[in-house]
Chains A and B, each alone.
Chain A
C-alpha cells in the first residue's frame, strides 16, 4: 500500500468527528415541527374564519386578514418545498 493512500485514510478518519451530529442536538427536527405546526395553525385559522364569515359571525376584515396570512404561509411552504425537491433531484443526478 502506498504511503499516500495511508495518509488519505488517516485524514478521513481525523475528519470524521467533524461531520458527526452533536449528541443532544434537538435543532432541525423540533424547529421543523414548530414551523409546520405554525403553518397548519395559520391555514386552519383561515378556514375557520372563512366559515365564520360565510355564516355571518365574523367580519370581513378578519376574513381578509386571515386569508392574506394563509396565502403568505402557503406561498412560503410551496416555495420551500420546490427548493427541497429541486435539491433532492440534484442529488439524484449526481454521478456516483
Chain B
C-alpha cells in the first residue's frame, strides 16, 4: 500500500465521518419539534489500525445530550402535566446550523486533500510519460 493510497483512505474516512455527523445533525433538526427528543451527538475518535496502518477517523457510539428538556406552557397539549407544561426537545437550531456548517467545512477540507493526493500521484506518473 503506497503512501498515496494511505492518504486517500484517510481522506475518505474523514469524509465518511463528517457525512455521518451530518446525518445526526439533520435528524436533530428534523426532530426539533418532537416532544421529549434529546439531541444526538457523535464523538470522533482515532482508529488505530495494525502496524504501519494509517490512523483513520471513525465515529463512536451515538450520545444523547444531557441538558434538560425545554418546558413549554401549553395546557391543551396531550402531554401537558398538572402545571400545563410539557417537555419539548432540547435541540437548539443555532447550534445545529453551526454544527452542520462545521461538518461542511471539514468535509471540504478532506475533499481538497483527496483531490490533492490524486493530482500529486498523477503528476508523478506524468514524469514517466514522454
A: which residues have CB within 8 A of B?
A: 59, 61-62, 64-65, 68-69, 71-72, 75-76, 79-80, 82-83
Contacts and interface: CB of A to CB of B under 8 A. Distances in A.
A28 to B, nearest CB: 19
Interface residues of B, number: 16
Given A72-B4, A72-B5, A65 B12 contact: yes
B129 interface: yes
Contacts of A61: 12, 15-16, 19
Given A69-B5, A72-B4, A72-B5, A64 B12 contact: yes
For the complex of A and B, list the 7 residue pairs with the smallest distance between their C-beta atoms, beginning with the closest.
Answer: A65-B12, A79-B128, A61-B16, A75-B125, A61-B12, A79-B125, A61-B15
Contacts of A68: 8, 114, 118
B8 A69 contact: yes
B121 A72 contact: yes
B9 interface: yes
Contact of A75 (B5, B12, B15, B122): B122
Contacts of B129: 79, 82
Contacts of A76: 125
B12 A62 contact: yes
B2 to A, nearest CB: 8
8 contacts: A65-B8, A65-B9, A68-B8, A68-B114, A69-B5, A79-B129, A80-B128, A83-B128
